[in-house]
Amino acid sequence: MTANSEASKRSDSSDPIAPLHVAIIMDGNGRWAQTRGLDVSEGHHAGFENLRRVVADFAKRGVSYLTLYAFSTENWDRPESEVNGILELAIAVIAHEAQQLNENGVRIKHLGRVDRISPELRDELEQAVTITASNTGLTLGIAFDYGGRAEITNAARQMIADGVSANDVDESKVAEYLYTADMPDVDLLIRTGGDFRISNFLLWQTAYSEFYSSEILWPDFFGEHIDKAFESFSERQRRFGKRA
Ligand code: IPE
Ligand code: IPE
Ligand code: MG
């Protein structure tokens, strides 16, 4: 069974079910630092610490795919010192966590461009993806230098480069060319930090996602806050355009 048919089978069930694929826009690190009179780098540090804290928690709740928005194609426009700090943190966290994640059966995927990130981060990501490739537990998508528009544009370019004929371009063909090729659509999209926007995240894969916005800033989003997001999801009636 493909991941997408698995998702639709689960969504047909009348029992409250855990979302198969959760995606998170981890927003609010800057405000978290600001309210404490700290430098923004401290906010990002706290954000990466929270990421380490919550991954196992999502797996325990029955989530099979967790995709985390860590750095967007637009985030390069932030001050150079902030960008470099985020790159360094990402390298350190992956270097530190990959082995443990591997032991826990987590399969790591990188979603995003690889041509602009530092060689050190590219190496860490590649290594983490390679060592965990055959794991069968939680699939952890790390969206770094990710943009939904860039992803779709890249898919179009790749299809043309591969000589795919116009007649063969349908929705499943496009999906095959996305960074998320073997992942199901997103069931639950969480945004922390209180905003209600998608900020160029998973434009294709969130077509019928349930959206949950939390006021809580990302470094503080764990435990009961995750419970609330799941509770909210379990109360949604998903119709996918059909008559209920
Ligand atoms: C999200 O936190 C992390 C990244 C975008 C890398 P922000 O840094 O955007 O936090 P706020 O929105 O300024 O509070
Ligand atoms: C979205 O947050 C990107 C990440 C969380 C990585 P932003 O802070 O960049 O989004 P905007 O600027 O508020 O839309
Ligand atoms: Mg932000």
pLDDT in tens, 182-208: 999 999 999 999 999 999 999 999 999
Kindly state the DSSP code that residue 84 receives in the 8-state scheme. H
The answer to whether the pTM exceeds 0.85 is yes
Kindly tell me the burial class for residue 188, based on how many C-beta atoms sit within 10 Å of its own C-beta (0-12, 13-18, 19 or more).
buried
pLDDT in the model for residue 18: 86
- H or E element at residue 144: strand 139-146
User: Does a structural domain hold residue 51?
Assistant: yes
Residues lying with their CB under 5 A of ligand 3, a single-atom ion: 27
Domain membership of residue 81 as a residue range: 22-98+114-152+186-234
Residue 203: how many other CB atoms lie within 10 Å: 14
Q: At how many degrees (to 10) do helices 80-103 and 40-60 cross?
A: 20
Q: Cβ < 6 Å from ligand 2: which residues? A: 25-27, 69-72, 75, 195, 197, 199
User: Does a structural domain hold residue 217?
Assistant: yes
Question: Is-catalytic flag, 75?
Answer: yes
Pick from 5, 100, 15, 8: which is nearest to 59 by CA? 100
For 72, residues 6+ apart whose C-beta sits below 8 A from its C-beta are 143, 145, 146, 147, 199, 200, 201
For residue 209, the domain's CATH number is: 3.40.1180.10
Is 70 exceeded by the pLDDT of residue 2? no
User: Does a structural domain hold residue 170?
Assistant: no
Is 60 exceeded by the pLDDT of residue 64? yes
pLDDT in the model for residue 177: 98
pLDDT in the model for residue 17: 75
Catalytic residue among 4, 75, 135, 200: 75
The bound ligand whose nearest atom lies closest to the alpha carbon of 45 is 1
pLDDT in tens, 91-113: 999 999 999 999 999 999 999 99
Is 70 exceeded by the pLDDT of residue 9? no
User: Does a structural domain hold residue 144?
Assistant: yes
User: Does a structural domain hold residue 199?
Assistant: yes
Residue 27 Cα, ligand 2 centroid: separation in angstroms? 6
Pick from 214, 213, 208: which is nearest to 187 by CA? 208
Count of structural domains, the chain: 1
